[in-house]
Amino acid sequence: MGGYRHPVTHPTRIKPAPSTILAIVLGVGVPAAFVGIFFAWPVAAMVGRGLFVDGALDLSGFGDVLARPRTLRLIGRTIGQAALASVVCVVLGLPIAHVLYRLTFRGQRMLRALVVLPFVLPTVVVGVAFRTLLREGGLLGDLHLDGTFTAIVLALVFFNVAVVVRTVGTTWEGLDRRQEEAARVLGAGPVRVWLTVTLPRLAPAITAAASIVFLFCSTAFGVVLVLGGTKFGTIETEIYLLTTQFLDLRGASVLSVTQLLVVVLVLLVAARARGRRTAQRRVSSLQSRRAPRLGDVPTIVVTLLVAAFLALPIAALVLRSLQTADGWGLGNYVALGTTGSRNALVVPVWVALGNSLVIAVQATVIALVIGLAASLVISRRPRSVGLRRSLAGFDAVLMLPLGVSAVTVGFGFLITLNTPPFDLRSSPVLVPIAQALVALPLVVRTILPVLTGIDDRMRESASVLGSPPWRVLRDVDLAIVGRPVLAASGFAFAVALGEFGATSFLSRPDRPTLPVVIFRLIGLPGGDNFGMALAASVVLAAVTVAVIALVERLRVGTMGAF
Amino acid sequence: MTALSVDGVTVSFDGAPAVDDVTLSLEPGEVLGILGPSGSGKSTLLRSIAGLERLDAGSVSWHGEDITAVPVHKRGFALMFQDGQLFPHRTVAQNIAYPLRIAGTPSQARVTELLALVGLAGFGDRRVTDLSGGEQQRVALARSLAAEPRLLLLDEPLSSLDRELRERLAGDLRRILDETATTAIFVTHDQDEAFAVSDRVAVMVDGKLRQTGTPAEVWRRPASAEIARFLGYTTVLDGDAALVVRPRGGGPIALRPAAVVVTHDGPVAATVVRSTPAVDGWRVRLVVPGIGEVDGIASGQHPVTAGEYVTVRFDDDAIADLP
């Protein structure tokens, strides 16, 4: 044995086939180019406006803008509002995650659907629903919350409690119950077990969820604009106002940069938390769930109360949409065929719905192609540490559109995509592209965990059995990811349908989407306009809910979990 | 005629060699067992032969033709993993038919035949996720055999199963490999398994092949004390101590516990240090004058206790010669 030693300097290597190289180039190149042209460039241009004056670096803009008392107040309120909403979401989300993911009882799926529902509702719809609920003469009008800080925080919680429930719940579902049981046997009381065994294992998921909620809240646009008007703005609505009302592009740009810094920071925290989470060994949910006991009553009560809180604005919206000047009826819905009182709209609402559907389909296709290609590449685990790091970086970049304000993106589009070869300002592709950007991180987060969960040896098995690389991709990766892809498309479609921030910048007056039309209608009250806005909101919500209900049937655990 | 030859293969991870200059060859129809403790590099060697690892040095040839640069899927081999790695989104029959479809020769009859071969007739339409561990491994074996691979590579195929099932499947595996006349390499850390399935075994320690031979050769004449210990020989003796066991002489020897048997009228006196009940009698630790402490056995009829004076005889079947 042994004997002649082969020269180590000339290792024999298996050369990757040209098709493999092509696949990698396409998988990295296409998503990178897309995110580069339609995200990084516009955002960079935005940033440039703030930092450079006549080609020279000039940071005085920051001093000017940030010294304004109004700006400071806005930044403080944005952060305070987001932090408060995040804390409330975590506090309410944990008991609900326990009830919906650790227990098992009849009606649980219905309850889960109800909790997830608000997250996918269009922001404008939620804004309108809360207005309906809280304004004078509304169901909760006596609380005088309309146009207050509390109303905005409530709406943010309404939206984001689902993020905590899903993210923490899917982790919790996979935790082995026997660890808690072992601690109990060793003499720890329930509180101690929760603090010393359960909480530490959930901590990464909680951190990840909280940071994502913070991100969503601090960049919230539609709901704040509808509920707070100009009185209770955030950085995001201020960017919108500075750009569209005061034409102060420099100020808007400085605020965008500030927001970007906060977002990057929060994303780093989230990425860290996600990285640590993978160390947990997951068990099947059959092993972790049990029937409710007496001790679960408090968490069940919290869950039911929150469920009522979530159902209330939706119920108020539907009820109010059926009220017309002449009493109950479908008048508001009939009016959707018109352009509203005082000719508020350019096209009838139904046409806007048609636009929305077409654009959302286009956005879904784009987000899916890009997201799938990117996920396939990111899910690879190359042996080289450097390559692994770059893939992790690529993953983080794809998450960025999630947090960077849609308004910044929309505005960035306007200032960059106006010169050849990308003179797309008046092109109809701009809106779907912007919506696809917003949906992209959700697509990646739904598909990627499933792909990374595939044992590499399964691909190797297929390979050894004679499958060329393209066939391994098709028979293993794509076959397993089929249902999640379907779920992700539904999710992306729902998100695109309700997208308002970027769309409000980019949609052409003659081709508005439904959210844009709703916002326009509540901006011009009087006549049937408010009733029409309500009816349109119900229609938009109904379409979204129908799509999500289909998606829920696929039972893909990773959907909506971060 | 040599089917497979592996020549000077070295594979390193982050600079540390996992497989270090390994050379071996395989005759057509032969089943080679690679035996080694965990972390010895045996799985990496198997993956290298399959084409799943980049070689830092060396070559792999099939019937004299260098296939080092041939990609995995064109080698015509099959690899079966410890946990089967069945495709969860396909049924049992679809899993087994997979390599047939790749080869462009789908055949329902062949699938039925393979199911019967591995003792799972009628299981074709089941979901693989509904199968027990042993059934999954049988399906994995059927899938590996489906396209009649030129070489079947088995990576600890029975290790994830419980003992009783493992022993039964080891027998089945040998029978199936014989019936299909498959050339195979079988990696395991369990010597019983290796000896039950293989024509020849190779012992691998720290990335190097230390000994190759028939199971009986390796069993009777381990190449070193280290290999002997890995094979379950608990005591290694040389010089005067070895002469106590074999008065006629013959160099260093290794003893399994079964080599030292407590009896009524054995030739050598001993003192019991410790005694533990076992299924078939007692495991004992003894002090034998001239040797020191050794492991031994006592039959169920003669319970022994610590401190007792006994006599022992030596059973040659459980004694190996060392070089």
- In this prediction the ipTM stands at 0.81
Q: Do B98 and A5 touch (CB under 8 A)?
A: no
Does residue A4 form part of some domain? Answer: no
Strands A327-328 and A323-324: antiparallel
Give the angle subtended at the CA of A221 by the CAs of A345 and A91, to the nearest 5°.
135
What is the pLDDT, as a whole number, of residue A366? 94
Strand partners, A323: A328
Taking the Cβ of residue B81 and every Cβ of chain A, the question of whether any pair is shorter than 8 Å is answered with yes
Residue A449 pLDDT greater than 90, yes or no? no
Supply the CATH number for residue A407's domain. 1.10.3720.10
Q: In angstroms, rounded to a whole number, what is the distance separating the alpha carbons of residues A491 and A486? A: 9
Q: In degrees, to the nearest 5, what angle opens at C-alpha A427 toward C-alphas A421 and A432?
A: 110
Min CA distance, B244 vs chain A (Å)? 35
On chain B, the residues whose CB falls within 8 A of the CB of A474 are none
Q: Note whether A457 contacts B85, CB cutoff 8 Å.
A: yes
Identify whether A198 is part of a domain: yes
Question: A218 vs A284, which has greater pLDDT?
Answer: A218
Residue A308 lies in a domain: no
Beta bridge partners of B262: B298, B312
Helix (H) or strand (E) holding B288: strand B281-288
At A89, is the pLDDT very low, low, confident or very high (cuts 50, 70, 90)? very high
Q: Round to whole Å and give the CA distance between A414 and A434.
A: 11
Number of other CB atoms surrounding residue A379 within 10 Å: 20
Q: Which residue type is seen at B37?
A: P
Q: pLDDT tens digit string along A526-561?
A: 777 888 888 999 999 899 888 887 877 776 655 555
> How many angstroms separate the most distant Cα atoms in chain A?
100
Neighbouring residues of A51: CB distance < 8 A, sequence distance ≥ 6? A57, A58, A59, A61, A257
pLDDT greater than 60 at residue A7: no
Split into its structural domains, chain A has a count of 1
pTM over 0.80: no
Structure token pair of residue B138 = 């049988």
Q: For residue range B235-288, list pLDDT tens digits in order.
A: 898 888 888 888 877 789 999 998 999 888 888 889 999 988 888 888 999 998
Tokens of B246: 């074999």
Cα separation, A3 vs B12, in Å, equals 19
Collapsing DSSP to helix, strand or coil, A485 comes out as: helix
Radius of gyration of chain B, Cα coordinates, nearest whole angstrom: 23
Query: How many other β-carbons are positioned within 10 Å of the β-carbon of residue A166?
Result: 27
Residue A9 confidence (pLDDT) above 50: no
Contact B68 A14 (CB under 8 A): yes
Q: What's the order of all strands across the beta sheet hosting B235-237? A: B235-237, B253-255, B319-321
> pLDDT, tens digit, for every residue of A462-477?
999 989 888 888 899 8
Specify the amino acid at residue A256: S
Query: Beta strands B268-278 and B292-298: pairing type?
Result: unpaired
> Is pLDDT above 90 for A368?
yes
Q: How confident is the model at residue A5 (pLDDT cuts 50, 70, 90)?
A: very low
Instruction: Give me A90's structure tokens.
Output: 């975590």
Q: Are B10 and A7 in contact (CB under 8 A)?
A: no
Instruction: Check residue A6 and give its pLDDT.
Output: 42
pLDDT grade for A10, boundaries at 50, 70 and 90: very low
Task: Give the residue with greater pLDDT, A40 vs A419.
Answer: A40
Residue A220 lies in a domain: yes
Are the beta carbons of A482 and B85 separated by less than 8 Å? no
The arithmetic mean of pLDDT across residues A301-314, rounded, is 90
* pLDDT at res. B65: 92
**What is the arithmetic mean of pLDDT over A356-360?**
93
Residue A299 lies inside a defined structural domain of this protein: no
pLDDT in tens, chain B (323 residues): 789 999 999 999 888 889 999 999 999 999 999 998 888 899 999 999 999 888 999 999 999 999 998 888 889 899 998 888 889 888 999 999 999 988 888 889 999 999 988 888 899 899 888 888 889 988 999 999 888 899 999 998 888 777 887 888 888 888 888 888 889 999 998 888 888 889 999 999 999 999 999 998 998 899 999 899 888 898 898 888 888 888 877 789 999 998 999 888 888 889 999 988 888 888 999 998 888 889 999 887 777 888 888 889 998 888 888 88
pLDDT bracket for residue A11 (50, 70, 90):
very low
The answer for B 227-286 residues in CB contact with A (under 8 A) is none
Give the three-state DSSP class for A380.
coil
Chain A contact for B200 (CB, 8 A cutoff)? no
On whether residue A10 sits in a domain, the answer given is no
Which of A6, A383, A460 has the CB atom closest to B8's CB atom?
Answer: A6
Which segment of A174-178, A498-502, A557-561 scores lowest on mean pLDDT? A557-561
Given a cut of 50, is residue A393 above it in pLDDT? Answer: yes
What's the domain range around A449? 20-290+326-554
The minimum CA-CA distance between A519 and chain B, rounded to whole Å, is 45
Which token pair is B17?
């060699």
In a domain, A506, yes or no: yes
Task: Tell me how many degrees the CA angle A374-A380-A382 measures, rounded to the nearest 5.
Answer: 130
Contact B23 A3 (CB under 8 A): yes
Q: Is residue A14 part of a domain?
A: no
